[in-house]
Structure 1
Amino acid sequence: MATYKKRGYKPKNKEERVELDEQNSTTAEVFSSLDEGASKTEAWVSKNQNYILGVIGVIALGVLGYLAYARFVQEPKEASAANELYYPQQYFDQALTNDESKDSLMTLALNGAEGKYGFLDIIEEYRGTKAANLANYSAGMAYLNMQNYEEAISYLEKFSSEDAVLGALAKGGIGDAFSQLNQPEDALDYYQKAIAHNTNDYTTPKYLYKAGVVALSLDQKETALGYFERLKEEFPDAKESNNIEVLIGQAKS
């Protein structure tokens, strides 16, 4: 086995001299190989430096362009869209508490008035912004309240959010629209998506109840029972649990 030899070491015999010569030869070959590789690399870099600098320049311009777009285009666009969203949202909120004028207020929220944008204008004019995404949700819910179920589905499907409540409400809203269109299988599918989106005290009991009722109507009693029992066990204080024993009895019968 080779052993470490200090600098200036003199071999004691012929065998050690041969071993030392081999080690020196191997070391020389390694450094020679490294020098050769470095020379080839330098030559390649020298030959292709214009290409390399061009690629670096393109990447740098791309990064700077993205930063400039985000700073001087996207951010002002986001701010403007958020400001525009405030006006139709007021009409939408009023409509939820005013049954007599609900449809007219929802229409104002959708289409705007007095030179102000409605949800539909914001979706069109501010595509790609957070406000346009929220406008899809509000437009979908407006159409749902106006019993225009196909339009409700269309806009709610365009809405995307990881928010615990809004994300679940959007999926549940699609379920409600399908239910009103007498498509219970699709309704159940979206109620299940609403349940899976997030577990919380507001949306989860709501859609556990609806999923159970629809499953029961489809004669999927085992599925319905699972939803009703989960509702009873996890959310006993929710209003949806008030008559849960009756529903559990129907699912078991």
Structure 2
Amino acid sequence: MATYKKKYKAKNKAEKEQNIENGSTTAEVFNTLDETASKTEAFVGKNQKYIFIIIGAVALVVLGSLGYKEYVTKPKQENAMNDMFQAQKYFEQAVNGVEKDSLFNLALNGGEGKFGMLDIISEYGGTPAANLASYYAGTAYLKLKDYKNAVEHLSNFKSDDEILAALAKGNIGDAFVQLNQKDDALSYYEQAASLRDNEYTTPMYLYKAGIIALEIDKADRALKHFKNIKENYPNSTEASNVDVFIGKAQMLASK
């Protein structure tokens, strides 16, 4: 049921004055708001041209970024992957075949009028394909015993892949072993082992780190790596003879 609200009437002079004061304050607030709105409207009116230019510029940047990704980056990556196909094929044949050196060279430099990995890196820099080509190129150089170029290209490769990320670091370690930079090799083997935790790359690079650590008289570090394999990766290939190296490391560490 609707209720009737009786109109309120001020009882005395003080209350009337209070009401007048309140009304005056309210009016003041509204006047301030009106004044601010008027100033804002005047500013917008005066600078409308520049405001629209700024808004338009921001819109162009956003749309340009989206357009660049859709119409430049994406097609560039697709072209790069298409151009890299033959080089990948040469690389795979080299890994599994017998004429390895010639096939690794073809993977690097191209053949039959097709791009090699070095061409992909040069022509499609900044794409995922060029990044992957750095891994292929570095590994091919490692197999061809060009260790400095192997380190350079493998160092340019960046990946979150479970296996490739660790293999790239480990391959750099292999290159440093051949360059007789064994402290660097140990560092990269340890990075490769800790980069990912799996049953394949982790024990493999712990083992390599342990062997190199023994060679450069760092028996304590070697012992730590060998024990890690025994305790945490007992089913790995490396665990099958790790006890021998644990014994050797213990003996050298106690001297």
Q: 1:27 to 1:139 in 2, by over 3 A?
A: same
Shift of 1:172: 1.2
Q: Match for residue 79 of structure 1?
A: 78
Matched, 1:114 2:120: no
Q: RMSD of the alignment, in Å?
A: 2.0
Secondary structure of 1:208's aligned partner: helix
1:212 is aligned to 210
Q: Match for residue 179 of structure 1?
A: 177
TM-score of the aligned structures, taking structure 2 as reference length: 0.88
Greater mean deviation of Cα atoms: 154-163 or 221-230 = 221-230
SS in 1 for 2:125: coil
Q: Show the counterpart of 2:35.
A: 36
Q: What amino acid does structure 1 have at the position aligned with 2:130?
A: A
Aligned to 2:136: 138
Measured in 1, the distance between the counterparts of 2:119 and 2:53 equals: 42
Q: Distance in 2 between matches of 1:19 and 1:250?
A: 97
- C-alpha offsets along residues 148-205 of structure 1, whole Å, 9 cap, x if unaligned? 1100011111111111111111111111111211111211222222223221222111
Greater shift in the superposed pair: 158-167 or 219-228:
219-228
Mapping of residues 230-249 of structure 1, within 5 Å: 230-249=228-247
Which range moves more in the overlay, 68-77 or 106-115? 68-77
Distance 1:245 1:44, change over 3 A: same
Cα deviations by residue, 1:11-54 (Å, 9 ceiling, x for unpaired): 33445444434433332222222222222222222222211111
Q: Equivalent residue of 1:243, what SS?
A: helix
**Residues of 1 paired with 2:10 and 2:220: CA distance?**
88
Cα gap change, 1:227/1:13 in structure 2, threshold over 3 Å: closer, same or farther? farther
- Gaps spanning 5+ residues in structure 2: where? none
Deviations 1:74-129 (A, max 9, x none): 2222111111211111111111123x411111011111111011111111112222
Distance 1:26 1:95, change over 3 A: same
In the alignment, the residues of structure 2 paired with residue 230 and residue 177 of structure 1 have an alpha-carbon distance, to the nearest angstrom, of: 24
Q: Which residue of 1 aligns with 2:165?
A: 167
Residues 40 and 221 (structure 1 numbering): CA distance in 2 closer, same or farther, change over 3 Å? farther
- Structure-1 separation of matches of 2:178 and 2:13: 99
Q: Which amino acid aligns with 1:56?
A: I
Give the match's secondary structure for 1:48: helix
1:109/1:39 CA distance change after superposition, 3 Å: same
Q: Hey, what does 1:226 align to over in structure 2?
A: 224
2:99 alignment partner in structure 1: 101
- Relative to the length of structure 1, the TM-score reads 0.89
Q: Equivalent of 2:192, from 177, 194, 207?
A: 194
- What is the rounded CA distance, in whole Å, between the counterparts of 2:32 and 2:218 in structure 1? 74
Q: 1:131 to 1:17 in 2, by over 3 A?
A: same
Instruction: Call closer, same or farther: CA 1:179–1:7 in 2, change over 3 Å.
Output: farther
| Distance apart, 1:217 and its partner CA | 2.5
Whether 1:57 aligns to 2:29 is no
| C-alpha distance in structure 2 between counterparts of 1:94 and 1:175, whole Å | 24
Q: What do the CA deviations read for 1:49-80 (whole angstroms, capped 9, x no partner)?
A: 21111111112222232333323322222111
